[in-house]
Structure 1
């Protein structure tokens, strides 16, 4: 027993270095955690204050009746939504106009932008000047684009009159007739966004792996077949990005509508953003306006989720 006790006393203690390393690692992790929260908290606070809080407050307002004059909103439940969703309401016209506007502008700019981007990638003469000219409209404010197209569409002295006179026809009154007002804002917005889409596609095409094209060329792929079966699938992540951002941006367009048509004549060019503005700041019906904004938010959320689901099957990142 004495010998065993002596051996236990003689057994060396474990070195303190592992404990010191563990404490040092803990302090390093703590510093990294504090640094992470110090960097993320201002951004998180900004998102909560300017993003989530207004959305939730708008949802609350959509359940009330308020005209900016009453001291406080009066709770009315779902009455605003019932009024909006009844047959023949202005929301139906706004939804139809928004759908047409979004589909035409997004599809038109995607197809046109891909074609222009592919041409710019050929490194032709003066391609740098063409890139600048193509991207320039995207840098203009929407109000400036609206004023420019207001002159172009003028049936008395605008470019529209000159073009129609070349084929022996009279220029339509683009912004003052219900048959053309929606197409007027659609053309103006598509012109503004087309250059942005073209430059994004151009940069993406230049970044595609050349070895795949060389292998396809050895197999005899040429021209349209090469573009359809290789370039377009490789560009699917860019197409997905442009589609999602394009739908969201087009569905929220306001400034071009305000400059060109004011949502008229009647409701012929009234989209959801313009409807929200008109109900709030023209009719002073804050509750109905908040309900329209909530409907627009839900629709955009659903469309984005559907696009994301489709992207999982159609988009290839490798």
Structure 2
């Protein structure tokens, strides 16, 4: 016996269940995405936003981490502006930034152009350039301490064989900050080289070929074609390297510890001494917030200047 079922067609006016409609599907996608990203987002916010807010309240107090805190308002910030050690640390940090940022960009461009050529063992050379960046800054600082040692260092040994005067390097209060810049460049230039190398390989060959056919030499092609195409990468590298220079700590810690006679004491190292050696947590938190404000202002200046020049990066 055959059994038949009558199916009543859904009229156009019958509403589609919410879970089956476009909005329901979009809601399910959003919920699925947040189910994966939510825990990680909560961890990131908990480890960044909450400590930052707590540090701001600490910066307005006098606290050693043990005794009850005493609220001093903006007193810590007013003291920092007149603190000679803070002023000296700021000067050292600005010197380091002024040398490190342009140096890493210029060297990154030049090395990237050299590594963009078709030569033998190019992969080996690219790896060698990037290895110092991958190595930890602590290991770099320890190695640099041996290289620039005045008694048995490699640099003085080379100068001795060449008949040139030897130097004190990291033990000289007049030269140490510049030696730190050289060490920092050696460890960080691999980063700018890699991003510039990727940008060079992304430049359309049609532009270079058109300029060459118009009679432009290699220098003109580099100046009027390559450099303008690298402008967005340069803005990113300038902002990133500025943040790196302003927050340099581990290299200072493993080489000079801020010496000799505080000649290499940067802002971050001074904050470390305030917070963890003298237990002036409120004063150190205020210094950290001032560093954050200065870094933010410098980054915004670079970004706004680049936008006025027509480079949209951020």
TM-score scaled by length of structure 2:
0.91
Match of 1:3 in 2: none
Deviations, residues 186-216 of structure 1 (Å, cap 9, x unaligned): 1111100112211221121112100111111
C-alpha distance in structure 2 between counterparts of 1:111 and 1:18, whole Å: 68
Is 2:43 the partner of 1:56? no
Match of 1:32 in 2: 29
Which of 288, 292, 297 is 1:293 aligned to? 288
Q: Report the CA distance between 1:310 and its aligned residue.
A: 1.4
C-alpha distance in structure 2 between counterparts of 1:159 and 1:285, whole Å: 40
Q: Report the CA distance between 1:159 and its aligned residue.
A: 1.8
Which of 170, 173, 180 is 2:165 aligned to? 170
5+ residue gaps, structure 2, are: 1-9
5+ residue gaps, structure 1, are: 1-13
C-alpha distance in structure 1 between counterparts of 2:22 and 2:101, whole Å: 52
**Higher radius of gyration, 1 or 2:** 1
Match of 1:195 in 2: 190
Corresponding residue SS for 1:19: coil
Deviations, residues 53-101 of structure 1 (Å, cap 9, x unaligned): 111111111111111231x221111221121111x52111111111111
Distance 1:307 1:316, change over 3 A: closer
Corresponding residue SS for 2:274: helix
Match of 1:83 in 2: 79
Q: Report the CA distance between 1:169 and its aligned residue.
A: 3.3
C-alpha distance in structure 2 between counterparts of 1:274 and 1:299, whole Å: 16
Corresponding residue SS for 2:15: helix
Match of 2:304 in 1: 309
**1:1-318 equivalence runs, <5 A:** 15-16=11-12, 19-20=15-16, 24-70=21-67, 72-86=68-82, 89-316=84-311
Match of 1:10 in 2: none
Q: Report the CA distance between 1:35 and its aligned residue.
A: 2.1
Distance 1:18 1:209, change over 3 A: farther
Q: Report the CA distance between 1:317 and its aligned residue.
A: 6.3
C-alpha distance in structure 2 between counterparts of 1:206 and 1:123, whole Å: 12
TM-score scaled by length of structure 1:
0.90
